[in-house]
């Protein structure tokens, strides 16, 4: 088997044991006589799959009973519209912190819908090389919620703290850091995430929402965007992304088998520390993110020479280190080292970085 180290920001690599189990069950799941891809979502076999997926996620993240877990479609980007349409009616206003491209898109989407939304903090002028400091007094007292993107995939930053919003619900896009470490769900009103970065194949979107926030949706809003409808129907108002939910269940099972999110965090910290330690103790590559805001999932770096960056990505790919090219909006390199990336993959990357630096001296 010729598996490469896939550093893609998403869709990203999945744990090998998960892929192997899915392969073994591909044609026939259990005693069902069919593939999960062929099952009716109303069948007892599939109802057990989605119920197990929710139960495992609740156990992993310690999700309280007063939060609903929704398995949806449309990607996290659909939630850019769903969030204000479900929540803003509470007061008619909402605040946003813009720390990168996706939080910026979420803010613009709410503006596009004509809502009274305000950007209370941004690090755009610093090229998003850190996350903003948010204090309670910055938030409008009548805001329906504060929206943040907890981990910024493109720029390689993450909030090292959970903003204190008082009684105002905190809404967080956690697409690129979900289930990478423990998080206190009770500090958030809503957590949402596209699954294709750290949880499952593309096609599944997770929403975790506090129950008291389910009764504030806009009247006559699209049914498919209304969280209450999805909650009342167990995420099956229509046909859900069945196979992606099944794959998420296998990922949850894999993490539980490792020891849960406490153990997952230790593994992720070890990988990130190895890469950042190298970046901090050499002078060939530049790590643009301020240390206090560094992401554990997405590590960005550049050589300072666009031609060298391009050569690096090409030669790394040829060496079995795939998808290291940075996002088109920022260039350079980006190593996404999600849960499924083994420690050996990060070691291989650092070895290649050393070799490339020795063979390609800067002018």
Q: Average pLDDT for residues 339-346, to the nearest whole number?
A: 98
Average pLDDT value for the chain? 96
Q: What is the pLDDT of residues 252-296, one digit of tens each?
A: 999 999 999 999 999 999 999 999 999 999 999 999 999 999 999
pLDDT score of 331? 82
pLDDT score of 22? 98
Q: What is the pLDDT of residues 237-247, one digit of tens each?
A: 999 999 999 99
Residue 329 in this model has a pLDDT that exceeds 80: no
User: How many C-beta atoms surround the C-beta of residue 266 within 10 A?
Assistant: 12
Q: What is the DSSP string of 318-356?
A: HTTEE--BPPTTT-SEEEE--TTS-HHHHHHHHHHHHHH
Instruction: Report, in angstroms and rounded to the nearest whole number, the Rg of the chain calculated over CA atoms.
Output: 21
CATH code of the domain made up of 17-257: 3.40.640.10
Q: What is the pLDDT of residues 170-214, one digit of tens each?
A: 999 999 999 999 999 999 999 999 999 999 999 999 999 999 999
| pTM above threshold 0.95 | yes
According to DSSP, the residues that pair with 207 across neighbouring strands are 70, 192
Helix, strand, or coil (residue 15): coil
Q: Average pLDDT for residues 110-126, to the nearest whole number?
A: 96
Residue 130 in this model has a pLDDT that exceeds 80: yes
Residue 363 in this model has a pLDDT that exceeds 90: no
Residue 68 in this model has a pLDDT that exceeds 90: yes
pLDDT above 70 as % of the chain: 100
pLDDT score of 90? 87
pLDDT score of 153? 95
Q: Which sequence spans correspond to the domains of the chain?
A: 17-257, 260-359
Assigned CATH topology for domain 260-359: 3.90.1150
Nearest one of 205, 101, 95, 197 to 157, comparing CA atoms: 101
pLDDT tier at 1 (50, 70, 90 boundaries)? low
Give 250: exposed, middle or buried? Use CB within 10 Å, 0-12, 13-18, 19+.
buried
């Amino acid at each position: 088997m010729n598996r490469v180290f896939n550093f893609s920001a998403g869709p990203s690599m999945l744990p090998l044991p998960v892929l192997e189990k899915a392969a073994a069950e591909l044609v026939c799941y259990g005693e069902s006589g069919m593939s999960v891809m062929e099952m009716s979502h109303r069948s007892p076999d599939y109802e057990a799959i989605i119920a197990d997926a929710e139960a495992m996620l609740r156990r992993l993240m310690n999700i309280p009973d007063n939060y609903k877990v929704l398995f949806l479609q449309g990607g996290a980007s659909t939630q850019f519209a769903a969030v204000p349409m479900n929540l803003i009616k509470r007061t008619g206003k909402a605040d946003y912190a813009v720390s990168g491209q996706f939080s910026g898109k979420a803010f613009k989407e709410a503006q596009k819908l004509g809502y009274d939304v305000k950007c209370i903090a941004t690090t755009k002028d610093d090229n998003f090389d850190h996350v903003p400091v948010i204090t309670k007094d910055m938030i409008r007292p009548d805001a329906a919620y504060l929206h943040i993107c907890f981990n910024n995939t493109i720029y390689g930053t993450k909030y090292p703290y959970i903003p204190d919003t008082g009684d105002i619900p905190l809404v967080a896009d956690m697409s690129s850091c979900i289930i990478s470490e423990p998080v206190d769900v009770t500090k958030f009103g809503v957590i949402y995430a596209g699954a294709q970065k750290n949880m499952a194949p593309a096609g599944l979107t997770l929403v975790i929402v506090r129950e008291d926030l389910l009764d504030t949706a806009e009247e006559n809003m699209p049914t498919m965007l209304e969280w209450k409808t999805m909650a009342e129907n167990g995420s099956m108002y229509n046909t859900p992304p069945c196979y992606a939910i099944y794959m998420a269940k296998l990922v949850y099972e894999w993490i539980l088998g490792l020891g849960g999110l406490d153990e997952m965090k230790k593994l992720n910290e070890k990988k990130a520390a190895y890469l950042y330690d190298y970046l901090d103790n050499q002078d060939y590559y530049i790590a643009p993110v301020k240390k206090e805001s560094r992401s554990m999932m997405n590590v960005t770096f550049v050589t300072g020479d666009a031609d060298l960056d391009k050569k690096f990505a090409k030669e790394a790919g040829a060496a079995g280190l795939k998808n290291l090219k940075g996002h088109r909006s920022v260039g350079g390199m980006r190593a996404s080292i999600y849960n499924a990336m083994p420690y050996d993959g990060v070691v291989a990357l650092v070895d290649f970085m050393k070799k490339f630096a020795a063979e390609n001296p800067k002018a």
